[in-house]
Amino acid sequence: MNVTFLSSINDIDQQQWNSLIDCDYPFITHQFLALLESSGSANEASGWIPFHLTLRDESNALLAIMPLYIKTHSWGEYVFDWSWAEAYQQHNLNYYPKFVSSIPFTPATGPRICIKPGLDSTTILSVIINAIKHKANDLDISGWHLLFPEQQLSDQLAEMGLPQRHATQFHWFNRNYQNFEHFLLQLTSRKRKNISKERQHILDQNISHNILLGDEITRDDWELFYHFYHMTYLKRSGRAGYLTKSFFSDLSCHMPANVILVIANKSERPIAAALYFRSSDTLFGRYWGCLEEYQFLHFESCYYQGIELCIRLGLHKFDAGAQGEHKIQRGFEPIATWSNHWLQHPGFDSAVKAFIAEEATHIRQYITSCKAHLPFKKNQ
C-alpha cells in the first residue's frame, strides 16, 4: 500500500475522493474542501497548508482518504491546545508546525478517515499512523491532531495509542415534533414561557426572518451576508473572519442542496443573517453576522429559526456549533465530542496523555451536571 500526501485537494479527482464517503456529511466532500482552498480561506497564507492523505494499493486503486493540514497556529480548530504550545515554548521547543486532520473552521463531528468498504480498518489505520509519524519526522512536525471524528474511529485510534480527548457541545434533537409549539409543550412551564417571551420580543421589535434555500440565495444575498459576518468579526475580535467573500459567494454554485440562509429584517431592512448547512438528517448552524444589536436577535436567528427548520425539513438533529451553556435552557442537550492526539516528543506525549485522562473525568462530570439542568418535563 502506498501513502501519498497532496498539496491540494484538486490533486485528486472529485469523483474519486467522494466515492469513499459513505454518508452525506457535507464538510468532508471534495466540493467543500476545494472551495476552502480556491477561496483563499485554507491555504499557506491563512496557516492552513493542505497536505491531504490518500492510500492506494499496488494497482493504484484508492483505499482511504483523510483531510490533513500543516498548521502554523491553532486558530479555527475549536479543540484548544494553546497551553500545550506554551509549554513547548517554555522548553525552547517548536509546537508549530503541526499536523491537523480536521475540517477548517468547522467544529462539527463527522467522518475524518474514509476507508473503502470491505477492508480491515485496523490494518489501514496502522499504515496511515505510521506514514504520518514518518512524515512528521521528515518535516520536523511536532505531532498529529485528529479533531471531531466520529466516536467509533476515535475509540479505535485510542486503542492504537492515540489518546482520546473529550469535550462537550450542545445539540438539539427532534423527537418527531409537529411544530415549534409541540416542542415547547415538552418543556417546563417557566422555560416554555421564557422562550415564548424571547420570540415575542423579536416580533415586538418589528423583526422578521426570511429563509432562503440553496439556489434561492442570490449573489447580492451572499454579499450582504459576508458584510454582516465580516463586520461582526471585526467588532468582536478586531480581525477579519476566517472565511473570504468568495467562499460564501460560490457556495450556491458548488453546494446548493446543503446551504440555507436566514436573513433577519427590521421593517424590511436587513440587519443580520445566519448561515446553516444541512445533511439528510442534521442541521449545522455555522456562521452569523449582524450590523445592529437587538435583544434576543442572536437566539432567534441562530437557535429558534434552526429548530423550526429541523422540524420543517424532518431533520433529526441540530448541531448549533461549539460551546454555549446558554443553549441548555433552550432545549439543547450536552453531548460528548472527541479528538485524538500524538506528539512526537516522548516526554510531552506522555504529559498530554496524563492531562487528557484527568480532563476526561471533569468532562464527564460536567455533562452529568448539565443534564441535570435540562428544561424538559420530568417525564420526557
3-state secondary structure of 198: helix
- Residue 339, beta-bridge partner list: 147, 165
- Residue 205, beta-bridge partner list: none
CATH fold match for the domains 2-167+336-371 and 175-315:
yes
pLDDT at site 303: 97
Q: Of 102, 197, 109, nearest to 150 (Cα)?
A: 109
Low-confidence ranges of the chain (pLDDT < 50): none
Q: What is the pLDDT of residues 105-155, one digit of tens each?
A: 999 999 999 999 999 999 999 999 999 999 999 999 999 999 999 999 999
Say whether pTM exceeds 0.85: yes
Phi, psi dihedrals of residue 255, rounded to the nearest 5°: -140, 50
pLDDT at site 380: 58
Contact residues for 143 (Cβ-Cβ < 8 A; gap 6+): 98, 99, 136, 341, 342, 343, 344, 345, 349
Check if CATH label 3.60.70.12 holds for domain 2-167+336-371.
no
Provide the residue ranges of all domains of the chain, joining segments of one domain with +. Answer: 2-167+336-371, 175-315
Fold observed for domain 175-315 = Aminopeptidase (3.40.630)
Q: What is the pLDDT of residues 188-225, one digit of tens each?
A: 999 999 999 999 999 999 999 999 999 899 999 999 99
